[in-house]
Structure formats: structure tokens, C-alpha cells
Structure 1
Amino acid sequence: MIRWSICVSSPTPSFLRSFPVCQTLPKMRTNHFLLLLVIFLSLTCVHGNTDPSDVQALQVLYTSLNSDARLTNWKANNGDPCTESWRGITCDATSVVSIQLPDLGIDGTLGYSLSSLTSLKTLDLSGNNIHDALPYQLPPNLTTLNLANNNLSGNIPYSISLMYNLNYMNLSRNLLAQNMGDIFNNLTSLTTLDLSYNNLTGDLPNSLSSLSSISTFHVQNNQLTGSLNSLAALPLTDVNIANNRFTGWIPKELLSVPAFIYDGNSFDNGPAPPPPPYTSPPPGKARNNRSHSPPSRTHSGPDEPSSNTSSGKKLSTGAILGISLGSGFVILFTVLVLIFCLQKGKRMENVRRTSTVNPPIIDEKVNAEMQEQRATPAASVIDLKPPPPPTENSTFEKGKSGSTKRVKSTITTSSYTVATLQTATNSFSQDNIIGEGSLGRVYKADFSNGKMMAVKKIDNAALSLQEEDNFVEVVSNMSRLRHPNIVPLAGYCVEHGQRLLVYDYIANGSLQDLLHFADDTSKTLTWNARVKVALGTARALEYLHEVCLPSVVHRNLKSANILLDEELNPHLSDCGLAALTPNTEREVATQLVGSFGYSAPEFALSGIYTVKSDVYSFGVVMLELLTGRKPLDSSRVRSEQSLVRWATPQLHDIDSLAKMVDPTLNGMYPAKSLSRFADIIALCVQPEPEFRPPMSEVVQALVRLMQRASVVKRRSSDDSGFMYKTPDHEAYEMSY
């Protein structure tokens, strides 16, 4: 017999508590004890382990926050937040439900993986020095979001509109800019919204009227304009709108709010004008549940005197005559209105000249239910959000036919005059041309305030009549596209028959120029910079395809439309321009849509273009980053002229893959990272659209690629994203 001695360290597991701390177990078989030991160890290992996706997201956040020493117990690799008491982390079972790290002076950024924290309810990083753009995808199930008093820039991300459980949001005292955005329709649980002390501009969005639970609304010290009508019916108790640029009249409902601060604006004096008769109230819960609808006139209640009797007596002859005359007048008025509407409808039908080439815009709700992207002819792809109902900001313009039409769109970007743009571009001088796109040339514009912009001058000959007349509606939709990796639309011009678009100027040129036409051959993109460009572009497409409802199809994705700033962050241009389909003859003559080399097979063969066609084009761009070659290059031997045909068979062969890599990298890349990069390309350029992954999966694959590769030794010049050739260059050493 074998006698085993067990020493159980404290705390003792429950099934061994009947034994002393050290006890001899007589006559126990060896295999029985080993089985018991295995069970005990397995139980202790399973219990308390944090969800791997949560661990990975926190590791990315830790790295993005510069691995700050104040984040005690946090680790960039391995580790278990829930069992190791990472500072500020609270767990429920194996899931991270709260991150609270206020007022620690932490520096860095928020990274790119917060959306993976699907169980997170509270995120409080207020009172730190966190900078850079606010990530466009945040934890989706938050109830409390507090990022106040940091240095966050950019705009309010659209993904907040999908946080149905959000109760408290505080983004005050940051550097947020642009418009607030129509993102509040679904936030019916939100009670506190604080966006004060930022640089927000534009009018208050109509969707604020949907905040049926809100009590506190602070937007003081911004540059907001317009009226306060969207706040009138909300159950507010604390409102601060001071030091903005609001105009008009203060709704009387707001004047009864207990805490209402509104100084530093330009409101009109005197009482507000009465609303139009029978105007329905804005959506949302009215204060104190008071009904604003007119009383019902269908019948009289039991306690209500009848409208056609007086003290129970019959109507007099004069009353009957008055009713008859009144009824006749109402009937005559109705007939006249009907005739007017019929004539107006006929005139509008003549102006529209609708055809099967351009069907009407589909209702947004219907589009949202059609999440699966079905193959649609290229000319009938509905890319952008349908326009909102007519508002006071609707614009009038004249079409080619000479008729004046009302464009039912709310523009959330600046309007420029032709004279201003002529001055800034030196009368659209040839010397100021910096590119030529599918719809016209792009000019560099120097404004008197020192700001530099890019102006796209639309060639009206490229547009059909309907698309020319719908230009402002397209501008309205484009102005709502807001993402750190998308070139924002800064303004537009519709004047004297001219149609122009004004964009932010991106200083470092296009990816195409840097890869294929760089004058300085001693400088090239490092491998890390190329992966960064791929990831940023993928995030932009993910936003267009999967965040925007309905999805926005780019339809002209290529390296020439990926612009790079000084830090080599990519910015995708021409987003939303696919809604302005060029004339068929011009398109065929110049191949404006779906440039050769980037076109998916289904578009080249049948004219079908979907979001999966964008995925194919993105795969071609990744091939450019990998090989440094053009998508089509007639200067090469025939078998290598088409980049996709030449490269695809070699993507899974290690030896062939190494020979394909851009020679300007001089071998300075990690082999495993290269292989994973090639795997993503192979998925994107599948001939069949249904086998290509959605962009969200591409983004996650690129994120994992970056996480798994940590550089042990790298050149100091890699920090800038450029690699300078030297005779004694060092190779990269990577650890996994």
C-alpha cells in the first residue's frame, strides 16, 4: 500500500475542507488520487478566467494608453483582468462589465478594439490626457459613457446611435468638432447628455426630440446655431445652452424648465409666434405627459353639450342657412385644391422624366430590413440614406430644363460662392490641378484665412438631367458621412450652373502616388505603415457598409482615392459620389466607374456592383501594398500585366510569396505577418462575391495581424512610417 500526504494551501477547496490542512490518506490508490487532483486543478483553472476577447481588447487599450504605470496589474500580454485585480476593472463572472479610471492623468489614445467589450456597461476615463480621434465604434451595450475632460478630437461617432441602453453620456471639455449628427433616434433611455465646452457646429439635430427620458442637457460653450425647437417637448429639468450662436425664439416650454441657462446667444425678443394650426407635435414624450393635440371632434361625450344644439332647442332657420352656405364653400374650396394638386402633379411628372435607369429612393426602413446585400444592376444601386422630410433649410435650385424645383434636403455643411472658390483656386488655374476624378477635376484652394482645401469641380456634361437636379440631395447625404478614415465634405457650391464640392486638403498625396510615382526614391513605406494603411481603409469601408443604414457602396475604390496625411493615416475620398452616376456614353468611353484592374469580375461581366465588389477592390489595393505593383501594367510581360491574375496563384506559396514582396522593402518585414496579409488578400479577391468576407471580418483579421506581431528591434526611422535605404540596413526581428 502507498500512503500519500496532501498539503492543501489556503483557501481550501470545499470538497477537501473535511480534511486537516496536512493529513495522511491511507490505502488510497494512486490513480484515484491523481484523478481527484486533475479534477481539482481543472476546476481552479476554469473558474475566474476572463473572456479572451475582453482580455485582448484590454491589452490593446493598455498599449494605446502607452502602458501607463498607473494602470497597476495591467499587462500587454497574457494576464487575467478578472482574477488579477487590474486597476479599475470590474467583472461579472468571466466578463468585464466596468472600466473606471478617472482623473489619473493617463496619456495616449483609446485604440481600436473597444467594440469587442460587448458586456461592458460602464466606461469612465474622464479627467485624463487621452487624445486623438474618438473611436467610431465603442462598446455597443454601454449604459454609462464618461470621457469628459480629455483631449479627444474628431466628431461624435455614428455608432452611438446603436447604443439602445445608454443612460448617461458625458463628452464635455474635449476638442470635438463638426455637427452633432442625427444619432439620437434610438436613445430613449438617455437621461443625461453633456457635450459642453467643445467645438461643435451646426444646428441641433431633429432626432433630439426622440430623447423621451432626458432630464439634463448641456451644450454650453460650443458654436451651435439654429433654433431650440427640437427641445420643446422633452421632459427637461436642467438645460444649459449658454455661449453658442442660437437664434429665433425660445420655446415657451423651455422657459418653465427649473434650471435653464441661455445667455450668450442671439435670441429674438418678444413672445414666440404661435405654431401653425393643427401642427403635430414632435416625436417623444411631452413634458408632464400633457397632450398637445387638438380635441377630438368626432362626437360629443355624455357630459359635453352638443355643438349643434342650444339649451336643447332645435336649430333656427338662419343657422341652417349658415351651415349650408359654409358647407358649400368647403366643398368648392376642396375641389379647387384638388384641381391645383392634379395640375402640380402633372408638371412635376414632366420635370422628373423618370426612367427605369434611376428608380426612386427606397424607404430607409425597408432598406434596413434588407441587410443581405443582393446583386443589383450598377445603375440602380441605392447607396445613400434617403433624404429627410422638407425643412426650413430646404434649398431651391434651377435644373437644365429651366424649371425651379425644391430640393428636400437638410445640408449639414457650409455653402460657398463661386466667386470665393474662383479666388481660392486662382480662377481654377491649370497650375492648381491636383487630380482628376470620375466627375471632374480637383483643384487646390488657398483661402484668405490661410486654410487650404481641395475643390472638386463637377463637369455637368458628365451628369444626366435627373442626377444634376438631385445634386444637393446627394450633398446632403454625403455631409452625414463622418469617420476618421473618410475625407470629410467641408462644403459645396450650387450657383450660376456650377456644382462644386469642397473637401479638407490631405497633405501627403495619394497612396497611388507614394507607391508608384514617388519622386524621392530613397524613401518608401515601411511594412508597418502599409498594414496601418490597409487597416484604416478597411475601417472606412466597414463604416460605409455596416454602420451606415442603408449601406453606402463606394464603387470606385482604388489607391488614387486613398489619401495620406502627415502621419500616414489613410483617408478614403469620393465616398457617396457613386450616387451621381455619369452619363452612360461618358462612362463607357472613360471607364469612370470601376477602374480597370480594380473591378470585380461580376461588374466587368454584367455591370452588377454590390458591397462585395468593394471588398474585391480592397483586395487589389492590398496587393498593391504587398507587391508595390500597379493593378494593370502593360510594360510588364503579358503573364504579369494583370496583378490579380499573376499574384493569386502564388499567395499560399511561401517561397513565391517572398519573391512577390515590394523590393523597395529590402526584406524588412515579418514573414508570418506577410503570410497572414496574403491570406486576407486571397479571401477578398475570390471570383465569387458570396465567398468574399464582409469588411468587419477583414478589419478583425488585420487587427489580429497587428496584435500578434510585436517588433523587438526596429529602426528609429520606422516611427515616421518611412524607411530610408542605407547600405548597412538592419532586418526586422519579430516575436510572436
Structure 2
Amino acid sequence: MSVMRLRVQLMLILKIIFLLLSMADGETTEARDALVQFIEKLAPQRGENWGWNRSSDPCKSGWKGVTCYSDLATIKKIVLDELNLTGMLDAASLCSTKALMVLSLNSNNVVGTLPDEISKCRHLTHVYLHGNKFSGSLPGSLSRLSNLKRVDVSDNGFSGGIPDMSRISGLLTFLADNNQLSGEIPKFDFSNLEEFNVSNNNLSGPVPDLGGRFNGTSFLGNPGLCGKPLPNACPPSPPARKKGSSKKDYFMYSGYALIGIIIVSLVAFKLIKKGKTNSKKNVAKKGSQVTGDKESSTSSESKAVGGNRSEFSITSAESGRGSSSLVVLSSPMVNELKFEDLLRSPAELLGRGRNGSLYKVTLNEGVTLAVKRIRDWYISRDDFKKRMQRIDQVKHPNVLPVVAFYCSSQEKLLVYEFQENGSLFRLLHESKNRQSFDWGSRLALASKISAALAYMHEGLQADGIAHGNLKSSNILLSNEMEPLISEYGLADADNQDQSFLAQLDSFQENNSPPGGIISSNNAFKTDTYSFGIILLELLTGNVVQNNGFDLARWVNSAIREEWTVEVFDKALVSEGASEESMVSLLQVALKCIDISSAARPNMREVAGIINTIREHEEKSISSDP
């Protein structure tokens, strides 16, 4: 009887406990107050219908972005994606919750650091902070979140090193691409990881052993990284020193250094003496102002950028036949331009590329020009002149014309109108206004560039003059943001870049896309391939490296795995761009980068298909209610 009474009493106590729990307000009052403080710092301009106030319950009153466990007592997820949040993350207040598992703040404008206090949310399994404006270091305390499964901190401004997360054995995703992270990549349990990307940072050192799990696209854009799966091998490690040899080595290397200093001093003394002798001889000569091509070229490179003295110091009497004359083509902008005007004008070095150096030159009249300086292109003056004049005859509004040119045996200068709005590369990868470069703008640009390239190919087919070096940095933007193909025809089709061919052969041997042997006979199909890479750049938003091979391989791999949508730029996906149109343009790109150059379409066919996609897109937009 006493046993039965005890059981009844126990059941009654359990019922009372259950009733008390069901009547509870869920998270404690202190936790609610802390969460309100969290949202006030994160979203000071939140809407009135958000909830998130001290007089309501987060689980029962439907706070915006909050999901609770089935008991409606404890918060499980906080998801506040794409809400234009502009504040800071108060991790200490956030982690007052009892058992938060998911935090997602993707695609906002959250600033500041990710605080160390994030480790107090010890139940966290998913942390999504993609596409914000976080800065500072990733906290080392992340490694203490032993339950973490997925971490995405990509597209932010994080710097410093990557925390050592090797102790988190259950980690499945780590995405930290497009930041400013530095140092070496710490050890991860790559055998367990499903997603890993640290591309476009400032990382250095060897890539850890991946166990064949990831390819080079996860590490691109880190010039200091080396080793497989990247193409650049790591330098050999220095041999280990034997103990006790440090003092001996010190005296030995000190002796070497002393001998080296003596030798360098003797050589320097002789050079200085010889230089003084030559200087005296040059002063005595008539017309000593004129220097040789090689000497003047070297001195011009070393002059101060943007100074009053010109970057161009080229001989005016190379062959005694007026070789310094500047050929001005049909352009009212520089109709009276003379070579001496370039020499006297201040020049600013903008950059150096495969085909030479680029300068910004401002004339006395306030006219700004871009001057391309080409070296080591072994083409005769007559052939160069005919080539430039022939290209000038085939004009298209989306091809930047050469307004003047100069040619000597060592130097070749091409003069263009300077374009203040920069290049497509800059707009895609460096501009703060990248979000404004929407799908419609990208499709329109692709349509115009393909039509312009098709026009140039048809007009110059008989001459065998293709572009030869088409890339996003060679597509400039006019004052009206119209695309302009620059540097058309500057690549020497008969003397192609041998390193490019070597890479291409390597990729073909490994049965990897894309390819096609480059020669003067199919240089136009090489342009088609390059245009296909630009299309992939527009679609994915990724930086092109290694002649586009890595990007092409990654896209092909994603398609084989039926992850086609995953390749598209997140900015396009978030704006709601037409998936049908993006897939159609992706198919065009894949045709352009076909491994067989013969299978690639010509640019007239490409332009026609892209124009059809654009027309279909415009019709579908106009028919929307």
C-alpha cells in the first residue's frame, strides 16, 4: 500500500513539474534582455514587426528570424539573411541563449570584428557570415566550438591567420574565400570536409596534404601558396644543420662575405672609373643629347612616374631616316600631335603586361592619352605600319581605335584615348559598385563585345589579324559605360607565348579542358576561347588565372556533378537573375572553350546566340505584370 501511495505521489510531482515547464516563458528574462541588446547593436533600424522586445517571448511571439525547438522554450536558429543589417555582432549578448545551433547573417553589411565571445555559444553547429563587411582576425576561440559543422565567412574583409580547427573532427564546410587572410593554412581534417575554399586571400606556404579531396580552385588567388594541387611547386627545404656547427659556419660564411665585399668593391671601382671616362667622351661629342635605344629605354623605365620629364626617351635618329616620326591616324582629337609632344608631356606608369607597359600621358591642352609601349616584337616597320593602318580601316564602335603610332627597331608606341572608367576586370573584382553591375548589364556587355569581335574577325580574316590577348582587363569602359575592346591585334601570331603553349600541352595530356593548339591559322578560334573565359568571369564573378584553365576546369567539374547553379555569382543569384538565361549563356561559354579548337563556333555564331538570349530576356521582362 505504501508503495502504491509513493508511486501516486511521484506521478503527481512529475505532472506539476511538467505544468511548470509548459507555463514557463522559455528563455530566461536575462537572456531576452541580452538578445534585445544584440539586435539593437546589429539592426538599429529594424522594422516594428520584428518583435525582439523585452515584453514578448522569442519563441511564442514570433520574433523575426528566430526558430525554436519543438518545446517552444529555447531558441535553435537565428537567421537574418539579406536584411541590410548595418551594425555590429555582439557575440556576448547573443550567446546568452541556452542552446543556439545556427547563426546566419548572410548578405548584409555587418561591420566590425567577430568577437572571441562567439565561443560561448558552445552548441553552435552552423555559422554563416558570407557577404558582409567584417574585418579583423578570425578569433582563435572558433577552435573551441567542438560541435561546428559548417562555417562560411567568405566575401568579407577578415585578415590575419586562419585558426587551427584541426580538433573539430566533425567539420564539413569551411569557406573563407575573398578575404585578406594571411599566413599558412593550418591542418584540417580534410578526409571529413565536404566543402573547402580559401581562394583570393594573401595566404602563403605549402598547401597541406588534401588526400585528393580538393582541386586548385580552392586555393587560387594566393600568390604565396605552392604545392599540389597548384601548378607551382614549393622550393626545396634547406638542409638541416648539424648541432655544434653554428660557430664553424659563422666563421666560414663571414669569410665568404668578406671576399664577396672585396670583389664587389673592385668591380664597382672599375665601373665608376670607366663611366667617368665615357662621360667625358660623350660631352665632347656633338649632338650628345641623343642616346641609344637600349640606354634610353632603360633610363625611361627608371624615371619618376608622373614627373615633368617624359617616360619616353627614344632616339630620333636611329637609322637617319626620321624613324621617330609619329603616324597620326584619323582622329580630330590629336590631329596636330607630334612625337615631341609625347616626349615633353608628363607620363604616369599604369602597369606592365605580357605585351608591354601602359602609360597615362597628359598633353598641354589637357587631353589625356593612353600610350602602350611594346618591346621585343620582331616585326618590320613596314609590316607594323600596314598592320596598324589595316586595323584602323576596320572600325567598330565597341573597339577602341588607335589614334597614333610610332615604330622603331626597338620601340613601338600605340596611342589611344584614355578611358577614365577603367576596365571590366576592375568593375567585376575591384569596384565598390560591383552590386550595380547586374545581370542585364552583364548580358548587354557580352552581346556588344561578341558583336564587335565578330565584326573585327570578319574584316581582318584575310589579313590573319586576330586580337590575340583578349581578357577582361583589355575591355575598357567609356564615359557612357560602353564596353571597348582595347589592344586589338597586338599579339604576334607568328611568335606565340611559348609558356602558354607549354601549359596548354600539359592540360591536354591530362585530358583537362580546355585547349586547342594556337597558331596563326586558328588565332581567331583562340579569341573565341578567350571570349568564353570572359563569359565565365561574368557568370561566376571569379578572378581568371592561369589563362582561364582553372576556372574552366572548375565550371566543367561542377556541371558534371550537377551543381550548375552553384557556379553562378552570388550577387546575380541574390538579385533574382533569370536562371534560364544564365544557363543559356553558360552553355555558350562552354562551346567557346571546347577542348577542340575546330569544335568552337566562330564569333558571328556566338554573337547571334547571345543576341537571341538578350532579346528573350528583354521580352520576358517587358511581359511581366
* TM-score, normalised by the number of residues in structure 1: 0.36
- Choose between structure 1 and 2: higher helix proportion: 2
TM-score, length of structure 2 as denominator length: 0.42
